[in-house]
Structure 1
Amino acid sequence: MAQARRRQVDRSSETQALLLHAAAELLQEVGFAGATTALIARRAGVTTGALHHHFAAKDDLMLGVLDRMTERVLHRIEQQDHVTPDGRIDVSSLVAHLWEIYGDPEYWAIWEIIIGTRADAAFHRKVVAHRQETMRRVLPPWIERHALSEPRRPELAGLFEFMLIAIRGLSLERFLDKDAAYFERNLALLAELVDRKLTTLAGGT
């Protein structure tokens, strides 16, 4: 019986993952309004009844897409491969890892949700609140990577937020068909600026 329950949980998790992936794809392809629950279910290879079993409404599914992206960001922040042996953050590595997320066409799905929900004031407030909660979840791991004095913590938090703002803004340039060199140049500049500010905050020159 326990094994049967585990299989059921596994199937449920797999179906949810399929639905979230299908939703993200369709948000990129046809936008928020075009990504109907019927179309998402068809893309995922399940019935609309199965979709609503896991996500009662489209709003719940959209929040699930946001959750999925949040987990990807948290996973990147928590990885150790962007920390130098002396405990400093390798900013270039961190920027590159974050760009893998925010520069990925899948992130367009997030913009579609943010922009597409503007006409629904109640749900848009939920989306905005979700984004704010994501920032609160992402910031502590970043701050904990640095042994800065307490008075410097707000500045460090602001620096991290600035970095995310810049990377998210740069991701919109993909809509303008900029070449790879354009993104490499601007990401390198961002990493240089953030690293310089980090050195200052840590008491360097």
Structure 2
Amino acid sequence: MVVVSVGERRTQAERTAAMRTRLLDATIECLVTYGYAGTTTPRIAEIAGVTRGAQVHHFRSKEDLVVAAVEYLAQQRIQKAMRQDAGIWKGPDPVAGVLEFLWNSHQGDMFVATIELWVAARTDDVLAKEVARVEPMVNSTLITAVAQLLPDHAARKNVRNVLYTAMDALRGILVVGFVDRDQAQARRRWDRACVYLAAMLSEALAAKASD
């Protein structure tokens, strides 16, 4: 007989948290692989390797799952931004470093899943409300990370406005890239946009800090 020591036993709260994480990870995988329309509760349960009963115990519906996934994804993106050392892009041209940091911060499965939820939120009021709640937190974390590259500047309104414009442009480029499925083309579009964004950011940095 296998004896499990007290120290190895997980509390009910820990087991619940582990199961929820398992289901949310499966939801993200499903969003990336099958898109929002193809993300179904049976598919999520299959990917998670749990029974439908276990799934329903934690999330009663697809809506419950995807709404929880919005915040879960936001937290994952925040942690990614905090783990990324923006300082590795430091160099003689901090503007180029900022734009490269933003590009790298918007790559990977987490961002693909996020886009799926953004698009779905267009016609889903509950989802839209949750997206609107968490996205400012993600954006704020990205701006904080950029501050490593632009010390004493990132808090200025005119600089922040350019950074938000850069993120808006980048996200639009990446969404279009999902249509033509050409990552290299998306990068070329971003490089083209960066010519203008770099000029805007340089001008903002050179302006007097009157705001």
- Is the Cα–Cα contact under 8 Å of residues 32 and 113 in structure 1 kept in the other structure? yes
- Is the Cα–Cα contact under 8 Å of residues 55 and 61 in structure 1 kept in the other structure? yes
* 1:95 aligned residue: 102
* 1:176 aligned residue: 179
SS in 2 for 1:190: helix
- Is the Cα–Cα contact under 8 Å of residues 30 and 39 in structure 2 kept in the other structure? yes
* 1:140 aligned residue: 144
* 1:189 aligned residue: 192
Task: Give the structure with higher Rg (CA).
Answer: 2
Q: How far apart are the structure 1 equivalents of 2:75 and 2:145? A: 13
**1:125: how far off?**
2.0
1:129 aligns with 2:94: no
Residue among 1, 4, 10 paired with 1:5? 10
Q: CA distance change for structure 1 residues 91 and 67 in 2, over 3 Å: closer, same or farther?
A: same
**Which structure has greater helix proportion?**
1
Q: What letter is aligned with 2:8?
A: Q
- Is the Cα–Cα contact under 8 Å of residues 23 and 45 in structure 2 kept in the other structure? yes
What CA RMSD, in Å, does the superposition of the two structures yield over aligned residues? 3.4
Unaligned runs of 5+ in 1: none
- Is the Cα–Cα contact under 8 Å of residues 19 and 40 in structure 1 kept in the other structure? yes
Residue among 68, 71, 81 paired with 1:67? 71
* 1:84 aligned residue: 90
Unaligned runs of 5+ in 2: 1-5
SS in 1 for 2:24: helix
**1:155: how far off?**
1.7
* 2:156 aligned residue: 153
Q: How far apart are the structure 2 equivalents of 1:190 and 1:72? A: 27
TM-score (norm 1): 0.73
Between the two proteins, the alignment pairs up a number of residues equal to 199
Q: How far apart are the structure 2 equivalents of 1:96 and 1:112? A: 18
- Is the Cα–Cα contact under 8 Å of residues 27 and 34 in structure 1 kept in the other structure? yes
Q: CA distance change for structure 1 residues 153 and 65 in 2, over 3 Å: closer, same or farther?
A: same
**1:37: how far off?**
1.9
TM-score (norm 2): 0.71
**1:46: how far off?**
0.6
Identity of aligned residues (%): 22
